[in-house]
């Protein structure tokens, strides 16, 4: 039996015509994406408040050091030196496409993860939903956001830097020749590469000095600042007390 909703053929034609456009739109519409490491990632707003940072971090399932699988513990801490310090901390479990989530400004979880074999295995097949363990201190991310907001307020390029590294488990820390006491091992540090902050078309020591001056006030007595003269790198951390160094080699 045929159910007829419309009184005449012309009414049916009109409705058909009106339906054509939304259907065509839905058929053609694709969510805007960006390509990262060969993977299509949806465009999402930048993270520009402390509350948003906290809610992304809080969204990850957590695991304690003693709950981690033993293969990961012996891989990530091969010298078996850090159990005492690491067991006080809570790891976030990052799975599959979680690595692409923005965590502060335009920077993503992947920028702050240990770049180890778990990281590569996940990126090689994000749909397998492989797990990685991540240490990150919200306070350090808040400091980075405060830097972004202050650069913007002063009229500079708020995103005129890159995040080179965040959490380094002890194995990654040895590989990158970090100090044995590096705050990166506890997720409290980030290394930045300074670009063209003052928008004059080049990246020079002037750009770096702008960043250092702002970070000096933000980090203050709550953490460490490594100046690395002669490079465009800066280290900041949220260790909870003041530390400063002005050498080429990092003591932290
Ligand atoms: Zn560092």
Ligand 1 midpoint to CA 29 (Å)? 43
User: What pairs with residue 245 in β-bridges?
Assistant: 226
Count, in order, helices (H) and strands (E) of the chain.
9, 12
Would 177 be classed as within a structural domain?
A: yes
The yes-or-no verdict on residue 2 having pLDDT over 90 is no
Domain presence at residue 5: no
Question: Does residue 26 lie in a domain region?
Answer: no
- The number of domains in the chain is 1
* pLDDT score of 5: 55
Q: Could you please report the per-residue DSSP string of 133-187?
A: EE---HHHHHHHHHHHHHHHHTTS-TT-EEEEE----HHHHHHTT--TT-GGGGT
18 CA from centroid of ligand 1 (Å): 59
pLDDT digits (tens, 9 = 90+) for 109-158: 999 999 999 999 999 999 999 999 999 999 999 999 999 999 999 999 99
Mean pLDDT of all residues belonging to the chain: 91
User: How much distance in Å is there from the Cα of 190 to the middle of ligand 1?
Assistant: 6
Residue 252: inside a domain: no
In angstroms, what is the span from residue 16 Cα to ligand 1's centroid?
Answer: 63
Q: Cα of 116 to ligand 1 centre, how many Å?
A: 17
C-alpha of residue 162 to centroid of ligand 1, in Å: 13
| SS percent in the chain: helix, strand, coil, step 5 | 40, 20, 40
Q: Write down the residue that tokens 């159910």 correspond to.
A: 3
d(CA 65, CA 86): 6
d(CA 103, CA 185): 19
Does this model's pTM top 0.75? yes
Asked if 148 contacts 56 with a C-beta cutoff of 8 angstroms, the reply is no
Q: What is the Å distance from ligand 1's center to 178 Cα?
A: 8
Structural domain boundaries, residue 126? 33-245
Query: How confident is the model at residue 1, as a pLDDT?
Result: 46
**4 inside domain:** no
> Which residues are CB-neighbours of 39 under 8 A, at least 6 positions away?
97, 100, 123, 126
Which residue is it, tokens 């400063």? Answer: 244
- Which of 162 and 252 is assigned the larger pLDDT? 162
Token pair listed for 250? 């990092």
Q: Examine residue 237 and state whether it is found in any structural domain, yes or no.
A: yes
In a domain, 250, yes or no: no
Residue 18 lies in a domain: no
pLDDT score at 97: 96
CA of 160 to the centre of ligand 1 (A): 18
Distance between Cα 192 and ligand 1 center (Å): 8
According to the model, what pLDDT value does residue 180 have? 83
Ligand 1 centre distance from Cα of residue 133 (Å): 19
């Amino acid at each position: 039996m045929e159910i007829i909703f419309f009184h005449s053929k012309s009414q049916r034609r009109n409705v058909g015509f009106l339906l054509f456009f939304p259907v065509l739109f839905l058929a053609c519409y694709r969510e805007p994406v960006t390509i990262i490491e060969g993977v299509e990632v949806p465009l999402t707003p930048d993270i520009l408040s402390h509350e948003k940072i906290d809610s992304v971090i809080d969204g990850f399932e957590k695991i304690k050091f003693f709950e981690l699988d033993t293969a990961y513990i012996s891989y990530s801490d091969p010298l078996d030196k850090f159990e005492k310090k690491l067991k006080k901390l809570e790891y976030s479990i990052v799975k599959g496409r979680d690595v692409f989530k923005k965590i502060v400004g335009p920077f993503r979880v992947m920028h702050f993860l240990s770049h180890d074999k778990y990281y590569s295995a996940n990126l090689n097949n994000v749909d397998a939903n492989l797990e990685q363990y991540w240490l990150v201190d919200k306070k350090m991310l808040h400091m980075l956001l405060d830097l972004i907001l202050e650069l913007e307020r002063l009229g500079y390029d708020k995103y005129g830097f890159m995040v080179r590294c965040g959490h380094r488990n002890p194995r990654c820390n040895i590989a990158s020749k970090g100090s044995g006491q590096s705050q990166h091992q506890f997720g409290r540090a980030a290394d930045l590469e300074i670009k063209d902050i003052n928008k004059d078309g080049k990246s020079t020591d002037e750009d770096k000095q702008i960043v250092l001056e702002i970070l000096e006030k933000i980090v203050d007595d709550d953490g460490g600042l490594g100046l690395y003269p002669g490079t465009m790198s800066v280290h900041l951390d949220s260790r909870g007390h003041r530390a400063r160094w002005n050498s080429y080699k990092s003591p932290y």
